[in-house]
Amino acid sequence: MVTIRAIAERCGCSPATVSKALNGAPDVGHEMVRRIRAAAAEMGYIPNAAARTLKTARTYSFGVLFKEASQAGLAHEFFSLMLNGFKRRAEELGYDISFISSRLGEQELTYTGHVRYRHYDGVAVITAIYEQPQVRELIESGIPTVTVDDEFHGCGCVLSDNVQGVRDLVEYVYGMGHRRIAFIHGENTAVTRIRVASFYRTCADLGLQVPEEYVQPAVFHDPPSSGEATRRLMALRSRPTCILYPDDISYLGGLKVLEEMGLAVPEDVSAAGYDGIFLSQLLRPRLTTMRQDADLMGVRAAEELARAVSEGKAYLPARVVIPGELLPGQTVKRLA
């Protein structure tokens, strides 16, 4: 292994000078710098990250916390795209990215422990159960952290504009003539709370009375549970004319149930999704949905995290809101 000491010997100078020259310190002679750089290149010198980290307490790498529950995680298009954007931008900014696991060799370890062990400069919580104590511990640990789709005191965060997203959807559906609009929401997370609130608020603004049974719980990304919610809605004496689903995948669960009941979308019931994943635009009828810019969310998360790291104590957490885009498809029928 080629070390700075080897280069120093070759160049007849000290390791300190080599270190400085290679790191662009101002106090090294031009000629010396040239010689050292040349030698380093020729000898195939590669710095040792571990030694550097030991000395500087920096790794130039970000840890990423991904939800581990269910098979979601990486198989979830929305989060995969976000991770992709995060990774790309982080690398541009000079950071590598690693996943945060909850073990160290044989032993269990908290997320915070893991981050300290690996000395990540910053952490992105891309998707996790924020209620989990471990996750809260991490967020409150003082390690630079950016969260996505949830907000914590002292942490930067990137949020999809769920308020406006739901409002746009509801107003669109209303504009198509619907007055009996049902809302199926995911499990109790910040996103869900915001969306539900925005749903009620928008309906109120439009002068719509929302029957309690029109707001049904389900589980994100889980077609069966949205199927069940759909069944409950269609069992009401006053059926909704349009159902809003928590995400595009969940719509599929609803669709299945509706088909089983002999109902067609949008002829008999209208529907809309959320996310705007690739699939949504391939379905026939094409799904009406709210596209979230997952890639951009990832990009902004990386930028925010880099800023948190570089500004250190002086970092003022930002709240980055990414707007969505309504994709009008063919699943919302225009009512007379």
Partner DNA sequence: TTGTATGCGTTATCAT
Partner DNA sequence: ATGATAACGCATACAA
Residue numbers of the site for DNA (CB under 7 A)?
1, 3-5, 12-17, 19-20, 22-23, 26-32, 45, 47-48, 51-52, 54-56
Residue 51 or 235: the one with the smaller Cβ distance to its own copies is 51
Which one of DNA, its own copies, none is in contact with 206 (Cβ closer than 5 to 8 A by kind)? none
Which stretches within 189-247 are classed as H helix? 190-205, 223-234
Q: How far is Cα 43 from Cα 173, in angstroms, rounded to an integer? A: 67
Residue 35 or 87: the one with the smaller Cβ distance to DNA is 35
By the 8 A CB rule, do 290 and 130 touch?
A: no
Minimum CB distance to its own copies, residue 114 (Å)? 8
SS3 332: coil
For residue 159, what are the β-bridge partners? 321
141 contacts its own copies (rule: CB under 8 A): no
Minimum CB distance to its own copies, residue 220 (Å)? 15
54 contacts its own copies (rule: CB under 8 A): yes
Which one of DNA, its own copies, none is in contact with 262 (Cβ closer than 5 to 8 A by kind)? none
List binders of its own copies among 57-116 (CB under 8 A).
Answer: 59-61, 71, 73-75, 77, 80-81, 83-84, 87, 91, 94, 96-99, 101, 103-106, 109, 113, 116
Minimum CB distance to DNA, residue 60 (Å)? 11
Minimum CB distance to DNA, residue 92 (Å)? 21
**CB atoms inside a 10 Å sphere around CB 115:** 23
Residue 49 or 235: the one with the smaller Cβ distance to its own copies is 49
217-243 in b/e form (b: 16+ CB < 10 A) is bbbbbbbebbbbbbbbbbeeeeebbbb
3 contacts its own copies (rule: CB under 8 A): no
Alpha-carbon dihedral of residues 177, 231, 328, 280, nearest 10 degrees? -170
Residue 19 or 162: the one with the smaller Cβ distance to DNA is 19
298-322 in b/e form (b: 16+ CB < 10 A) is bbbbbbbbbbbbeeeeeeebbebeb
DSSP secondary structure code for residue 275 in this structure:
B
List binders of its own copies among 238-297 (CB under 8 A).
Answer: 252, 278-279, 282-284
53 contacts its own copies (rule: CB under 8 A): yes
Round the CA-based radius of gyration of the chain to a whole number and report it.
26
For 169, the token pair is 């959807």
List binders of its own copies among 32-51 (CB under 8 A).
Answer: 46-51
Side-chain-side CA neighbours of 134 within 13 Å: the count stands at 18
Q: How far is Cα 138 from Cα 54, in angstroms, rounded to an integer? A: 22
Give the interface with its own copies as residue ranges (CB under 8 A).
Answer: 46-51, 53-54, 59-61, 71, 73-75, 77, 80-81, 83-84, 87, 91, 94, 96-99, 101, 103-106, 109, 113, 116-119, 252, 278-279, 282-284
